Structure 1
Amino acid sequence: MAGRKRHSAEDIVRKLRRADELAAEGKTGEQIAAELEVSPATLYNWRRTYGGMDTDAAKELKELREQNARLKKLLADAELEKDALREVAKGKILSPAAKRRAVDMLKDVLGMSERLACKAVGLARSTCRRLPLAQTPQDPDAEMRAWLRAYATKHPCHGFRRAWAALRYDEHREVNKKKVHRLWREEGLQVRVHSPRKRAGVSSIPAIVADAPNVVWAIDFQYDSTVDGKAIKIASMIDEHTRVSLLNLVERSITADRLVDELQAVFAATGGPPRVLRMDNGPEFISQALQQFCENKVGMVYIPPGTPWNNGHIESFNNRLRKECLNRNHWNTLLEARVVIGDFKHDHNHRHRHSALGYRTPAEYAAACRHTHTPMACQIN
C-alpha cells in the first residue's frame, strides 16, 4: 500500500489559492477537493490552519468588520470625555506649568469646573491661580531670558550648550548649565533637529556596459505588507544582459548581513560572482558588511542619488513585479507572499517573452548566449 502523500507548506498555499479560483467558478467543495486530489476534510483543515476562507465566509467577515467599525465609532464618541480625564490623571504631567495647561484644556474643551479639573490633574487650586514668577515684573531671570532670546536671534543654529558657553567664557557669568537649559526650553528656543543627508556610496570601479552574461547584476528592494499591516521587504536582482531573475528574498526585515549571506549563496549557485553589482545608495548597500564582502571579489557601482533611471533594468523589473503580482494579490501570511512572489520570478525566467531578447525567455536566451565581455556592447540577434 502506497504511503500518504506529504504536502509541503508551499504546496498547501498553492492548492488553497487554486481552491479559491475553483470556488469562484462555482464548483462545490467535493469537486474542488477531487480536482486537488485531497479529501474535503483535509481541505477544511488546511483552510483552518493557513487562513484560507471561501466567498461566503469572506462576505460575512466583511459585514462583521463594518458593523464593528460603526460600533467602535459610537463607543469612541461616548468614551471621549472619560478617556481625556483618564489620560491627564495618570501622573505623567509633572511641572506646574504643564498642569495649568492641562486644567485650561479640560475647562475649555470638556467644560469641566476648575475644582474637578484641578482634582483630575493633581494640582492645588491655589497653585493654579497663582501667577508664575516668570510672568511677573519681579522675575529674577528676566535679564537672562532677554539675553538668551537675543543670542538665539543672532545665532539661530546654536543650542543651549553654546549659549551657556558664551555666558560662562565670554560674558564671564557663573551660571549653571541646567538653569540655562530650563530657561532655554521655557522660552521655546530649541533648535530644530535636521535629518542628516543620505550618504552616497563610493563606486569601486567605473561603470561597465552589460554586454555579456554575468557582467552587471542590478539589485534593489521593494516593500509591501500583509493584511495585518506588517511590512514585507522584497529583494530582487537580475542580470542586466540576460534579464534573468537571480534572487528571491522576502522577509519582514533584511539586514546587510542577511543580504551578504544570500549573495554568497547566489554566487555559489551560478558559478561565481559578476564583474559588477549595480545598486542605489540604500543603507544595506553602503554598509561595511557588503563593502567587505565585495572587496577583491566583485565591483560595486552606485547610481547618483535621486536618479533611479540610471538603474533602469531593475526598476523595470520592479515595475512588472508591482503591477502584475503585488498589486493583484493580498497576503494573509509571510509564507504566502514568499511562495507567490517566488513563482512570479520563476515564471519571469521561464515564461516571460522579452522583446529585447528577440521574444525569448530570459532562461532561453541565457542558455543560447555566447557573448563575452568586450568594450563594445553586443546586440541581440
Structure 2
Amino acid sequence: MLQAAGWKVNPKRIYRLWRREGLKVPRKQKKKRALGTGANACHRHRPERKNHVWCCDFIFDRTETGTTLKWLSIIDEYTRECLALKVDRHITSEDVINVLAELFRTHGVPEHFRSDNGSEFLSKAIRSWLKQIGVGTLYIEPGSPWENGYAESFHSRVRDEFMNCEVFENLRSARRQTEAWKQHYNEVRPHSSLGYLTPRQFSQQCISSSRTTSAFQRNTAVTQKFS
C-alpha cells in the first residue's frame, strides 16, 4: 500500500521496524473442511473471465439501537469487484431483481449467477426472470455455505474490516458508511489474489465475457412491475 501511494520502501527495513515495535498480525489457521460435492460449488464451476460468474449472498448486523439490518452483496467472482452492497431493514426477491436489473444495464449480463437456497433467490419470479434473460443459475447445496466461497470470503472482509469497526446509528448512516467502504474496497484496497491490484484496476484490465444486453433489453418489461 505504501508503494501504491508513491513511497519508496525497503521491505526489510519495514520488517525490522515492525518487529522492533513488537507488532504482530496473528496468522490465521485455515480450517479443514470438506469442499462439498455439489455440482455448482465454486471449486467445481470456477470463474474464468470477467462477467463469467457473479455470486450473491446476505450478511446481517445491527444499529446501535438494536435494529437488524440486512446487506445484499453481489460480487464478480473473477475480478473480485463488489458490484452491489445494498443495505436495508428487509430485502425481498423483488429487491434482488431490481438491483440485478440495474447492474445488468451498467455492467452487462453475466453468464451464471451463484447463490444459496434462500427464499429470495429461489422465488419463482427471480428464477423465471433470469431464465428469460439467459442467465444460468448455480444453486449451492443446502447447508454448504463454503460452496459459495467467493461470497463467504468477501463477507469475512466485510465483517472484519467494516462491520466490526463501525457503529451504525440508523439505516441512513449505514447506507452512507456502506457506500464509502464499498468504494474503498473496490478502488483503494489491494487484493493479493489479483497481484496486489485493486478489484477496479483488475476489472479494467479484463476482457468482459458478458453478452450484449439485447436479451436483457427484450425482457425489461419483466422488471417494470417491481419498479
Give the TM-score, by structure 1 length. 0.42
Q: How does 1:49-64 map to 2 (within 5 A)?
A: none
**How far off its partner does 1:296 sit?**
3.0
Q: How does 1:116-155 map to 2 (within 5 A)?
A: none
Which amino acid in 2 is paired with 1:351?
Answer: V
Check the 8 A contact 2:97/2:126 in 1, yes or no: yes
In structure 2, the residue matched to 1:276 is 112
In structure 1, the residue matched to 2:159 is 322
Check the 8 A contact 2:51/2:209 in 1, yes or no: no
CA distance in 1, matches of 2:164, 2:152: 16
In structure 1, the residue matched to 2:171 is 334
Q: 1:225 aligns with which of 52, 62, 67?
A: 62
In structure 1, the residue matched to 2:84 is 247
Q: 2:194 aligns with which of 357, 363, 377?
A: 357
RMSD, aligned α-carbons: 1.8
CA distance in 2, matches of 1:227, 1:364: 35
> In the superposition, relative to structure 1, how do residues 370 and 295 fare at CA in structure 2: closer, same or farther (>3 Å)?
closer
CA distances 1:277-309 after superposition (whole Å, capped 9, x unpaired): 000011101111211210132111011111111
CA distance in 1, matches of 2:174, 2:203: 27
In structure 2, the residue matched to 1:17 is none
Check the 8 A contact 1:216/1:274 in 2, yes or no: yes
1:290 lines up with 2:126 in the alignment: yes
Gaps of 5+ in 2: 1-38, 211-227
CA distances 1:297-337 after superposition (whole Å, capped 9, x unpaired): 21110111111111111111101001111111111110110
Gaps of 5+ in 1: 1-201, 374-381
CA distance in 2, matches of 1:341, 1:239: 18
Which amino acid in 1 is paired with 2:185?
Answer: H
Which amino acid in 1 is paired with 2:129?
Answer: F
Q: How does 1:123-272 map to 2 (within 5 A)?
A: 208-270=45-107, 272=108
**How far off its partner does 1:248 sit?**
2.2
CA distance in 1, matches of 2:97, 2:175: 19
Check the 8 A contact 1:208/1:276 in 2, yes or no: no
Check the 8 A contact 1:215/1:276 in 2, yes or no: yes
Which amino acid in 2 is paired with 1:237?
Answer: I
CA distance in 2, matches of 1:244, 1:235: 14
Check the 8 A contact 1:211/1:372 in 2, yes or no: no
CA distance in 2, matches of 1:258, 1:371: 26
Larger Rg: 1
CA distances 1:167-204 after superposition (whole Å, capped 9, x unpaired): xxxxxxxxxxxxxxxxxxxxxxxxxxxxxxxxxxx98x
Which amino acid in 1 is paired with 2:126?
Answer: L
**How many residues of Structure 1 are paired with residues of Structure 2 in the alignment?**
168
Q: 1:304 aligns with which of 124, 141, 164?
A: 141
In structure 1, the residue matched to 2:13 is none
- Between 1 and 2, higher relative CO (CA 8 Å, sep ≥ 6) is seen in 2
Q: After TM superposition, which residue ranges in structure 1, 4 or more long, deviate above 4 angstroms?
A: none
Check the 8 A contact 1:238/1:245 in 2, yes or no: yes
CA distance in 2, matches of 1:361, 1:235: 21
Which amino acid in 1 is paired with 2:118?
Answer: G
Q: How does 1:24-103 map to 2 (within 5 A)?
A: none
CA distance in 2, matches of 1:329, 1:364: 26
Which amino acid in 2 is paired with 1:336?
Answer: S
Q: 1:347 aligns with which of 169, 184, 189?
A: 184
**How far off its partner does 1:365 sit?**
0.7
- The structure carrying a bigger helix percent of its residues is 1
